[in-house]
């Protein structure tokens, strides 16, 4: 069976592009980015174009095998690596990495799914435009993966998630047919929204092979500021003020707690962290993008912060005086996940609640955690403007990290997710479900929604060819 499938795969993409574990080290494809799980693939196939992707899907469907689409393999929820069975085919899109066409007058660019995000950003920049999707893994994640997981990042406040940046897709269905809708229309009400159904479905409904993306004019100037605040409530007050005063100019609004920055200070002592000596518990990084020059933008941002200081919303603040100072501020913010990793093991969450309830969520959950785990070390940071926090627990300093995880990980997850649910929130704001959260989903998602999702999966991929087990968990009999 598997010999026949391998033969069909070789016929589909050429023998050189079918990698097998007996001949090659496949660990880069088999292990997830966080090194949470290592699977085993029957083969890794690397198609060169959409027709080859379709042929691979048909070969797997005919053989009754399943496949796992993979881009940069930088996902955080174990969604793009094979299971342990050794029977799954990893479909790597990495060779399909061409920018197909940039249409300046339509403010759009069509790209193949395997383009690395940074490559798309660069193509836009070279033509004088902005492609605003921006996230930590941008140097290695692919746009296909960004769309399959509806990636978020630091510019969502103004530009939306990956979903909001996509005008159209090309998708290979579970039957190996090609749906092509790349013509870059901004309005098209001719039927169901297939585009958004595929976006965020984590490769379980179809394989995204290309996309037409929105471009934006480059802002004339960008100015960043850093503020210390007394609590999350004050940060939310600053957010509201900034939204009222700056409108669409407010392109970033990140929250960081003191401990997150202390980890950065410890592991990256060369970085200058603004206001860190002021002993405030929370800090905000905010960014204004403007169609005016940087002096005007700076003045506008100073006005907002002046008003916030007068109202005691902000304790202290610094407005970057140059592009390099702005970059330094962002660099501090972006170093938090790395500092966390340097510090040791941790329990990550990627939650969202309505911004009106997020201060209450933090206060309540902080208290519950402190009660359950005395001295808990909480790294709390993220995209406050979107109601999205990475609310992480760092294992105790010098302790046995693995033992801490064994003892506490499940308890911590349950405590945090229950609190999220009480506040009407989501247990996965931007990372997706993958395998890692598939077992938690039924507890926190409405049964009606799950039923609708299962019906859709069954309708579009009745044989379970595409990334089975992801999002919805293992198929149950009758489904």
Instruction: Kindly identify the residues of this chain, within the stretch 330-349, that bind a copy of itself according to CB under 8 A.
Output: none
Q: Does 203 bind a copy of itself (CB under 8 A)?
A: no
Distance from the first to the final alpha carbon of the chain: 25
Residue 358 CB-half CA count within 13 A: 28
Rounded CA-CA distance 114/284 in Å is 34
Task: Find the part of the chain contacting a copy of itself (CB under 8 A) among 17-25, 182-190, 258-266, 396-404.
Answer: 182-190
Residues sharing a CB contact under 8 Å with residue 247, sequence separation 6 or more, in sequence order: none
Q: Does 426 bind a copy of itself (CB under 8 A)?
A: yes
Q: Does 57 bind a copy of itself (CB under 8 A)?
A: no
Question: In Å, what is the CA distance from 368 to each residue of 372, 384, 414, 422?
Answer: 6, 21, 11, 13
Site for a copy of itself in 248-307 (CB under 8 A): 248-249, 289-291, 300
How many of the chain's residues bind a copy of itself (CB under 8 A)? 94
Q: Does 459 bind a copy of itself (CB under 8 A)?
A: yes
Q: Which residue lies nearer to a copy of itself by CB, 404 or 417?
A: 417
Q: Which residue lies nearer to a copy of itself by CB, 3 or 105?
A: 105
The bridge status of strand 351-352 relative to strand 388-394 is antiparallel
- Residue that is written with structure tokens 């966080």 in the block: 34
Q: Does 472 bind a copy of itself (CB under 8 A)?
A: yes
* Interface map 145-164 toward a copy of itself (x if CB under 8 A): ----xx-x---x-x-xx-xx
Q: Does 451 bind a copy of itself (CB under 8 A)?
A: yes
Q: Which residue lies nearer to a copy of itself by CB, 38 or 186?
A: 186
Q: Which residues pair with 222 in a beta bridge?
A: 289
The answer to whether 171 touches 206, Cβ cutoff 8 Å, is yes
Task: Find the part of the chain contacting a copy of itself (CB under 8 A) among 139-147, 261-269, 307-315, 432-440.
Answer: 432-440
The answer to whether 450 touches 442, Cβ cutoff 8 Å, is yes
Nearest CA among 118, 137, 59, 117 for reference residue 91: 59
Rounded CA-CA distance 358/251 in Å is 20
Rounded CA-CA distance 273/268 in Å is 10
Q: Which residue lies nearer to a copy of itself by CB, 333 or 437?
A: 437
Among residues 2, 243, 262, 413, the one that binds a copy of itself under rule CB under 8 A:
243
Task: Find the part of the chain contacting a copy of itself (CB under 8 A) among 21-29, 31-39, 144-152, 325-333.
Answer: 144-152
Handedness of CA 115, 125, 334, 418 (dihedral sign): negative
Site for a copy of itself in 77-136 (CB under 8 A): 103-108
> Following DSSP, what letter does each residue of 280-349 receive, concatenated?
-SEEEEEEEEESS-HHHHHHHHHHHHHHHHHTTS-SEEEE-SSHHHHHHHHHHHHTHHHHHHHH--EE--
Q: Does 55 bind a copy of itself (CB under 8 A)?
A: no
Among residues 424, 443, 475, 479, the one that binds a copy of itself under rule CB under 8 A:
424
Q: Which residue lies nearer to a copy of itself by CB, 387 or 468?
A: 387
Q: Which residue lies nearer to a copy of itself by CB, 84 or 185?
A: 185
* Interface map 380-399 toward a copy of itself (x if CB under 8 A): ---x--xxx-----------
Q: Does 369 bind a copy of itself (CB under 8 A)?
A: no
Task: Find the part of the chain contacting a copy of itself (CB under 8 A) among 16-24, 64-72, 327-335, 418-426.
Answer: 418-426
Q: Which residues pair with 89 in a beta bridge?
A: 43, 67
In b/e form, how buried is each residue of 143-163, taking b as 16+ CB within 10 angstroms?
bbbbbbbbbbbbbbbbbbbbe
Query: What's the distance, CA 317 to chain centroid?
Result: 29
Q: Which residue lies nearer to a copy of itself by CB, 62 or 426?
A: 426
Site for a copy of itself in 349-368 (CB under 8 A): 352-357
Q: Which residue lies nearer to a copy of itself by CB, 262 or 440?
A: 440
Q: Which residue lies nearer to a copy of itself by CB, 114 or 168?
A: 168
Q: How far is the CB of 224 from a copy of itself (least distance, A)?
A: 18
């Amino acid at each position: 069976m598997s010999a026949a499938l391998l033969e069909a795969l070789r016929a589909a993409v050429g023998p050189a592009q079918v990698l097998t574990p007996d001949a090659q080290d496949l660990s880069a494809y088999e292990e997830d980015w966080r090194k949470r799980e290592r699977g085993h693939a029957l083969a890794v196939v690397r198609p060169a174009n959409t027709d080859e992707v379709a042929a691979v899907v048909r070969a797997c469907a005919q053989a009754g095998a399943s496949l796992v689409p993979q881009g940069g393999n930088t996902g955080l929820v174990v969604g793009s690596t094979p299971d342990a069975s050794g029977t799954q085919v990893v479909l790597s899109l990495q060779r399909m990495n061409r920018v197909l066409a940039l249409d300046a007058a339509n403010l759009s660019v069509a790209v193949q799914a395997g383009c690395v995000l940074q490559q798309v950003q660069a193509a836009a920049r070279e033509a004088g435009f902005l492609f605003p999707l921006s996230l930590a893994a941008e140097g290695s994640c692919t746009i296909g993966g960004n769309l399959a997981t509806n990636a978020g990042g630091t510019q969502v406040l103004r530009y939306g998630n990956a979903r909001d940046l996509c005008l159209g897709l090309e998708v290979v269905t579970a039957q190996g047919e090609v749906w092509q809708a790349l013509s870059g229309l901004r309005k098209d009400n001719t039927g169901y929204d297939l585009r958004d159904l595929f976006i965020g479905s984590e490769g379980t409904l179809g394989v995204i092979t290309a996309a037409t993306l929105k471009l934006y004019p480059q802002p004339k100037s960008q100015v960043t500021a850093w503020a210390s605040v007394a609590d999350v409530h004050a940060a939310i007050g600053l957010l509201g003020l900034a939204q009222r005063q700056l409108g669409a100019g407010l392109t970033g609004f990140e929250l960081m707690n003191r401990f997150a920055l202390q980890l950065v200070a410890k592991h990256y002592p060369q970085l200058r962290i603004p206001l860190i000596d002021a002993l405030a518990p929370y800090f905000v990084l905010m960014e204004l993008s403007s169609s005016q020059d940087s002096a005007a933008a700076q003045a506008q941002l100073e006005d907002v912060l002046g008003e916030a200081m007068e109202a005691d919303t902000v304790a202290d603040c610094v407005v970057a005086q140059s592009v390099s100072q702005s970059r330094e501020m962002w660099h501090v913010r972006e170093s938090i996940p790395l500092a966390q990793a340097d510090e040791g093991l941790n329990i990550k969450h990627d939650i969202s609640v309505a911004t009106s309830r997020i201060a209450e969520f933090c206060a309540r959950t902080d208290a519950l955690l402190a009660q359950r785990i005395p001295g808990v070390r909480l790294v709390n940071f993220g995209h406050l403007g979107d109601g999205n926090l990475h609310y992480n627990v760092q294992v105790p300093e010098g302790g046995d990290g693995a033992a801490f995880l064994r003892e506490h990980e499940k308890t911590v997850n349950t405590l945090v997710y229950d609190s999220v649910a009480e506040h009407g929130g989501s247990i996965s704001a931007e990372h997706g479900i993958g395998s890692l959260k598939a077992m938690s989903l039924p507890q926190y998602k409405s049964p009606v929604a799950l039923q609708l999702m299962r019906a859709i999966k069954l309708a579009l991929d009745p044989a379970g060819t595409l990334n089975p087990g992801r999002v919805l968990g293992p198929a149950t009999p009758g489904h």
